């Protein structure tokens, strides 16, 4: 059955995300041994029950090694270095900073071998079933598995999964918060700007669940529901890391000016990520 219901009311959103009768929508079988379908079938994000618990422990175990304050410093340093290389601009903050620094900072903080951010972006484009071409994502997943030791098992999927989950959502948070900061004249702290952005212009707007009795897919509106990081068993385990990275990036960007305040967004039902943010010093 494929009928869709949308849940947007605040209390109903939290209840739905905690409801064991609403499980993760099924992900497709098949695909290469270390491709995008393998990745989806091997991470916490698309699993339920005991399988989900085990995989989530793998992800949180890795994240526990990364202290958010250190990650924030790392993100700030990497942003300063990027801005130094770029010079005055104008340049696209999304392509040069928001889509690169979060991945680079996390890779370093997690002690991972270097992986290019664009390879992670290629996986993220197709991570949700039906959102992007699988073939380039298959190649990109294979490259990441190779970089992480070449064995397509759950611990490797947990590491790839952390980078992929970071990718679009954190780029969106940085982009939306940068826009709020550069449009306003005030001197609010970057922490306040990030917190307000998560409430009023969150990067992840929607998630889906499947009613286990009827098979109907349910859309859950995280934006109106006031749950920017989700809730319940799948609630984002990387929220402190995400806000730390975003705040670290925003600090050195303060004082830049928007070249074009009219912003276009990526075509996505679930995400709100500026396609381009032209800024200049």
Interface residues with ligand HEM (CB under 6 A) are 44-45, 56, 59, 63, 106, 161-162, 165-166, 169-170, 173, 203-204, 207, 222, 228-230, 234, 236-238, 241-242
Strands 91-92 and 278-280, by their bridges, are antiparallel
Smaller CB separation from ligand HEM, 34 or 165: 165
Q: Which is nearer to ligand HEM, 112 or 137 (CB)?
A: 112
Tell me which H or E stretch contains 13.
helix 10-18
Considering beta carbons, is residue 200 or 281 the nearer one to ligand HEM? 200
In angstroms, what is the minimal distance from the CB of 124 to ligand HEM?
A: 11
Nearer to ligand HEM, 77 or 90 (CB): 77
DSSP state of 234: G
The residue among 118 and 135 lying less far from ligand HEM, judged by its C-beta, is 118
Q: Contact at 8 Å (CB) between 158 and 62?
A: yes
Alpha-carbon distance of 168 to 244, in angstroms, equals 16
Pick the closer one to ligand HEM by CB: 96 or 205.
205
Phi, psi of 224 (to 5 degrees): -75, -25
CB of 45 vs ligand HEM, minimal distance in Å: 4
Looking at the Cβ atoms of 89 and 190, the one nearer to ligand HEM is 190
For ligand HEM, the nearest residue by Cβ is 238
How far, in whole angstroms, is CA 205 from its chain's centroid? 12
Within the chain, where are the H helices?
Answer: 10-18, 36-42, 49-64, 68-86, 93, 101-109, 117-127, 134-147, 154-183, 190-200, 239-253
| Beta carbon of residue 210, minimum distance to ligand HEM (angstroms, whole number) | 11
Of 74 and 173, which CB lies nearer to ligand HEM in the complex structure? 173
In DSSP terms, which residues pair with 220 in a beta bridge? Answer: 7, 207
Cα angle for residues 232, 235, 240 (degrees, 5° grid): 140
Closest-CA residue to 156 (of 62, 227, 37): 62
**Is 165:44 a contact under the CB 8 Å cutoff?**
no
State the nearest-atom distance from the C-beta of 96 to ligand HEM, in Å: 19
By the 8 A CB rule, do 46 and 233 touch? no
127 CB-contact burial (10 Å; exposed 0-12 / middle 13-18 / buried 19+): buried
Shortest Cβ 113–ligand HEM spacing (Å): 17
Q: How far is the CB of 253 from ligand HEM (least distance, A)?
A: 16
**In angstroms, what is the minimal distance from the CB of 136 to ligand HEM?**
22
Q: How far is the CB of 90 from ligand HEM (least distance, A)?
A: 25
CA 60 vs CA 24, 52, 65: distances in Å: 19, 12, 9
DSSP 128: S
């Amino acid at each position: 059955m494929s009928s869709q219901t949308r849940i947007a009311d605040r209390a109903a959103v939290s209840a739905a995300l905690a409801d064991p009768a609403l499980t993760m929508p099924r992900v497709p079988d098949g695909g290469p041994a270390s491709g995008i379908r393998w990745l989806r079938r091997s991470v916490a994000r698309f699993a339920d029950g005991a399988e989900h618990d085990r995989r989530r422990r793998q992800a949180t175990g890795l994240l526990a090694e990364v202290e958010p304050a250190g990650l924030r410093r790392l993100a700030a340093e990497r942003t300063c270095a990027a801005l130094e290389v770029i010079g005055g601009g104008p340049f696209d903050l999304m392509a040069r900073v928001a889509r690169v620094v979060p991945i680079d900072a996390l890779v370093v903080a997690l002690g991972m071998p270097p992986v290019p951010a664009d390879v992670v972006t290629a996986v993220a484009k197709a991570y949700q079933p039906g959102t992007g071409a699988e073939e380039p994502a298959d190649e990109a997943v294979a490259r990441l598995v190779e970089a992480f030791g070449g064995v397509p098992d759950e611990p490797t999927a947990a590491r790839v999964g952390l980078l992929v989950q970071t990718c679009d959502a954190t780029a969106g948070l940085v982009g939306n918060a940068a826009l709020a900061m550069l449009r306003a004249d005030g001197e609010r702290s970057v922490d306040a700007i990030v917190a307000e952005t998560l409430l009023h212009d969150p990067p992840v707007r929607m998630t889906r669940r499947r009613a286990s009795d009827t098979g109907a897919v349910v859309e859950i509106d995280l934006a109106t529901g006031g749950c920017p990081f989700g809730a319940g068993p799948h609630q984002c385990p990387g929220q402190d890391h995400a806000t730390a990275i975003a705040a670290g990036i925003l600090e050195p960007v303060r004082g830049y000016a928007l070249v074009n305040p009219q912003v276009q967004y990526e075509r996505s039902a679930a995400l709100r990520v500026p396609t381009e943010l032209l800024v200049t010093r």
